[in-house]
Amino acid sequence: MAWLGQARRSGCDDLPSGPRTELVRARVGAGSRAIRMLGSLLYLGLDVLGIPRAARRGGTILCYHNVVGDGEAAQSTTADLHMPLARFEMQLGWLIRHYEIVPLHELVERIERGKQLLRVAALTFDDGYAGTFKHVVPVLARLGIPATIFVIAEAPGRSDAFWWDHPDLPGSIARRYLLEELRGDEHAIRGATRLRSDWAVSECLRPADWHVIVAAARHGVDIGVHSATHRSLPWLTNGQLQREVVTSRHVVQRESGVMPDFFAYPYGLWDERVRAAVRAAGYRAAVTLDPGLNRAGADPWALRRINIPASISDAAFHAYTAGLNPRWALG
């Protein structure tokens, strides 16, 4: 999840509770709102003036999570993961007009061979939500647009939602505690937070079933691997890491009939040990959530991706796709 997996935090996630801490949190929150307002003005100005050509000289890999119909994301605590279909179609239309949208394998090939990357983009979707297959796949098929959907190998077939979408998830829990101490492990997190198991969840917030995934693959959708259980890979033992990286690939191959070439790091978290394990497992490339564009010669197992939240403004979306954000780098 992008909101949990970002390496940078607000700076007050791990502070002890108390009046002074609450004052710090309030000041950080006010500062963040001011920064967001300034950012919106910046993106609007860039959009009006035209995105600088130089900013588009790297290959763009966009990361979406889920696409839903009206009201289908209302149950989730992470609404920014679930983009309304109308907004997605609007963004896709803009991308078609301004970018050459290519399959991920073609973008990787261009990066490896030093080919032209100006205004070239690839679409990816994480987690294998049922909503993605229900709403996105028909749109892509109608328009002839390629995409890669990264599925969590052991998720298809379950009737409940992912833990991060649960409405009872306490918003005050620090990212570091969930992803480092609990290793992003669903069973550990559900136990620590006492999440109810009887939550009636919308179908579009559940993982897609294998028969749906297989049908999409037969119609040209590229299926990638997003680990076995979506745990934080840098904090796992070598044996656990093998299950998440190697076993997951064989599960996806067995169920889909296609050997997946690409891996997406859960929560966008990786280190050199994890990268080496993914490379040794035989994947052609892997994608992170490190934001920015990818130049020719970029590391194939640490490709940058731009996460697209559901609430993003049009101007910010246009700037993001061009790699324009003061905090980002060009890889």
Task: With respect to residue 3, please indicate whether it lies within any of the assigned structural domains.
Answer: no
63 and 29 fall within a common domain: no
Task: With respect to residue 331, please indicate whether it lies within any of the assigned structural domains.
Answer: no
pLDDT tens figures, 19-56: 333 333 333 344 444 444 444 544 444 444 455 444 45
Interatomic CA distance for residues 326 and 159, integer angstroms: 41
Q: Is the pTM of this model over 0.75?
A: yes
Identify the band that residue 195 occupies on the pLDDT scale cut at 50, 70 and 90: confident
User: What is the DSSP annotation of 150-166?
Assistant: EE-TT-TT-SS--GGG-
Which residues, at least 6 apart from 192, have a Cβ–Cβ distance to it below 8 Å? 182
Closest CA to 95 of 76, 67, 69, 123: 123
Identify the band that residue 173 occupies on the pLDDT scale cut at 50, 70 and 90: confident
187 and 70 fall within a common domain: yes
Identify the band that residue 186 occupies on the pLDDT scale cut at 50, 70 and 90: confident
User: What is the DSSP annotation of 233-265?
Assistant: GGGS-HHHHHIIIIIHHHHHHHHHSS---EEE-
More confident residue, 180 or 92: 92
- Centroid of chain to Cα 167: 20
Query: Looking at the 3D structure of the chain, how many domains does it have?
Result: 2
Rounded to 10 degrees, what is the CA torsion of 249, 142, 316, 4?
-30
The whole-number pLDDT of residue 34 equals 45
Interatomic CA distance for residues 311 and 79, integer angstroms: 8
27 and 75 fall within a common domain: no
Rounded to 10 degrees, what is the CA torsion of 289, 291, 293, 297?
-60
Domain containing residue 112: CATH number: 3.20.20.370
44 and 96 fall within a common domain: no
Mean pLDDT of 149-173: 87
Task: With respect to residue 254, please indicate whether it lies within any of the assigned structural domains.
Answer: yes
Average pLDDT of every residue of the chain: 84
Task: With respect to residue 6, please indicate whether it lies within any of the assigned structural domains.
Answer: no
37 and 92 fall within a common domain: no
List the single range of 62-71, 159-168, 205-214, 260-269 with lowest mean pLDDT: 159-168
Identify the band that residue 74 occupies on the pLDDT scale cut at 50, 70 and 90: low
65 and 46 fall within a common domain: no
71 and 35 fall within a common domain: no
65 and 84 fall within a common domain: yes
The whole-number pLDDT of residue 73 equals 64
Identify the band that residue 329 occupies on the pLDDT scale cut at 50, 70 and 90: very low
149 and 249 fall within a common domain: yes
Task: With respect to residue 176, please indicate whether it lies within any of the assigned structural domains.
Answer: yes
Identify the band that residue 166 occupies on the pLDDT scale cut at 50, 70 and 90: confident
The whole-number pLDDT of residue 3 equals 46
The whole-number pLDDT of residue 92 equals 98
Query: What percent of the chain is predicted at pLDDT more than 90?
Result: 61
42 and 64 fall within a common domain: no
Interatomic CA distance for residues 2 and 179, integer angstroms: 12
Which residues, at least 6 apart from 21, have a Cβ–Cβ distance to it below 8 Å? 12, 15
β-bridge pairing 148-151 and 306-307: unpaired
Closest CA to 117 of 157, 171, 60: 60
Q: Provide the residue range defining the domain that includes 45.
A: 15-50
The whole-number pLDDT of residue 26 equals 36
104 and 28 fall within a common domain: no
38 and 108 fall within a common domain: no
Task: With respect to residue 298, please indicate whether it lies within any of the assigned structural domains.
Answer: yes
Question: Residue type for 262, please?
Answer: F
State which of 6, 35, 50 marks the end of a domain.
50
Task: With respect to residue 9, please indicate whether it lies within any of the assigned structural domains.
Answer: no
Task: With respect to residue 225, please indicate whether it lies within any of the assigned structural domains.
Answer: yes
CB 205 within 8 A of CB 76: yes
Which residues, at least 6 apart from 188, have a Cβ–Cβ distance to it below 8 Å? 182
pLDDT at 14 over 50: no
